[in-house]
Copies of this chain bind each other. A is one copy, B any other.
Amino acid sequence: MTGPAPAPPSAPTEHPLEAIVGRTIDREGARELSSLLPVLVQDLTDIDWRLQEVLGSKYSQLTEAARYACSTGGKRIRPLLMAATFRALGQESTAPIRSLCAASQLIHTATLVHDDVIDHAGTRRGQPSMPRAFGMPLSIVTGDYLFVRAFQLAAEYSRSVILRSAEACADLVEGEVLQDTAQFDLSRGREHYFRVIERKTAALIASALGSVAEIAGATPAIIEDAIAYGRSLGIAFQIRDDLLDIHGDPDLLGKPLYSDLREGNPTLLTLEAYRHLGGRHQAEFERLFQMRRKRTRHLLRLKELIDSTDAAAEVAAEARRWSDRAIDSLGRFPGGMYRTFLEWLARGAADRPY
């Protein structure tokens, strides 16, 4: 237990839609979006209420810690995708998937909390990280609590939904372990990178959208399409994350740049840059990348070496290819505004500013 608990964070009021899709839509699109926006924002609010409700514990300390964790838990892209998919499949109300949306948000947040303990992270989304704010012991326990509440929520659904969620969680955990096996190691290459992000990022989104399609009463083929869409979008999203770690705006991101470089986490960007660099520079890149305690000048030199190659442009193109694949997966979805919105989201995943 640390000293006095921090002041509770202000309730999340911003919605990330405009930031995510704002760059990629034209004027016609913006007009269409403006009619969806209030509906989807209301969906996110409803999901947030369900989340807040389920986090209540008899012990205020645990409730406070759990709510803090969720308030710093990110852009709520998962519930947004789930709500839009459900509506794209013809549903008029997202009430039936509210608990599932809250569950996947909780699972995602639980892993972020435990990640921050493991990485000794100081900041998350511009606020003190959980371990910084509440100490290591309560952070571990709060992560467990979020997992437990997530499974309690998932228990409202059919066995296949529960099993799909549990399998995605196992993938997620396996992804973390797999990622750690290649820390500071540039030799494992692209194949290993994709194996990690499919498990660490894509599996949970894919499984959530598959379950949403199932709850919407979709055919097995459409359920598979929803899974494929979620998987490709998740990969695009993660590749974009890797780029933002080097070229993003730290104020928008809410965390310092270069964390992947600092932690020796081989991203597609570092792997591609490494592959492109010539002999002497390649050796220098590897030596710097493998340093356990990098100073700012090491990080800046790594960035300089990356920027001396075409890696960033190639990686951005790769992210867009996954976006395209995600969009292609929607081919059998019913046409309409929400399907268009899912296409925007896929484009936004590969092109978002944060």
With A and B bound together, what is the CA distance between A133 and B138 in angstroms? 23
CB-contacts of A124-147 with B (<8 A): 136-138, 140-141, 143-145, 147
Query: Does A1 reach chain B (CB closer than 8 Å)?
Result: yes
Tell me whether A167 and B152 are in contact (CB under 8 A). yes
Counting chain B CB atoms within 10 Å of each CB, the highest count among A117, A136, A137 belongs to: A137
Q: Are B1 and A180 in contact (CB under 8 A)?
A: yes
When A177-B59, A178-B59 are in contact, do A170 and B143 touch as well, CB less than 8 Å?
A: no
Is A291 an interface residue when CB atoms closer than 8 A count as contact?
Answer: no
Nearest CB to that of A181 among chain B residues?
A: B61
Rounded to whole Å, the gap between the CB of A168 and the closest CB of chain B is 9
Segment among A7-15, A27-35, A158-166 that sits at the interface with chain B: A158-166
Q: Is A251 located at the chain interface by the 8 A CB criterion?
A: no
Question: Which chain B residues border A147 with CB–CB below 8 Å?
Answer: 144, 147-148
Asked if A140 and B114 make an inter-chain contact with CB atoms under 8 angstroms apart, the answer reads: yes
Which secondary structure dominates where chain A touches chain B?
helix
Whether a CB of chain B sits under 8 angstroms from the CB of A307 is no
In the complex, A328 has a CB within 8 A of chain B: no
Select one of B141, B144, B162, B183 contacting A1, CB under 8 A. Answer: B183
Could you tell me the distance between the alpha carbons of A56 and B169 in the complex, rounded to whole angstroms?
14
If A1-B183, A62-B177, A178-B59 touch, does A166 touch B141 (CB 8 Å cutoff)?
Answer: no
From the candidates B118, B156, B174, name the one contacting A57 in the complex (CB within 8 A).
B174
Counting chain A residues whose Cβ lies within 8 A of the other chain, the interface size class is 35 or more
Q: A59-B178, A173-B148, A174-B62 are in contact. Are A136 and B118 (CB under 8 A)?
A: yes
Q: Kindly report which residue of chain B lies nearest to residue A57, judged by CB atoms.
A: B174
CB A58 to nearest CB in B, in angstroms, measures 6
Cα A148 to Cα B169 with chains together (Å): 6
Q: A residues near B, CB below 8 A?
A: 1, 57-59, 61-62, 110-111, 114, 117-118, 136-138, 140-141, 143-145, 147-149, 151-152, 154-156, 159, 162-163, 166-167, 169-170, 173-174, 176-178, 180-181, 183
**What are 20 residue pairs bridging A and B, where the CB atoms are less than 8 Å apart in the complex?**
A1-B180, A1-B181, A57-B170, A118-B136, A118-B140, A138-B177, A138-B180, A141-B173, A141-B176, A147-B147, A148-B166, A149-B166, A151-B154, A151-B162, A151-B166, A151-B169, A152-B163, A152-B166, A152-B167, A155-B162
Given contacts A118-B136, A156-B159, 13 further A-B contacts (CB under 8 A): A57-B177, A61-B177, A62-B173, A118-B137, A143-B144, A145-B170, A145-B173, A145-B174, A149-B166, A151-B154, A151-B166, A152-B163, A155-B162
Sorted nearest first, the 8 A-B pairs with minimum C-beta distance are A152-B166, A148-B169, A155-B162, A118-B137, A145-B173, A151-B151, A62-B177, A148-B170
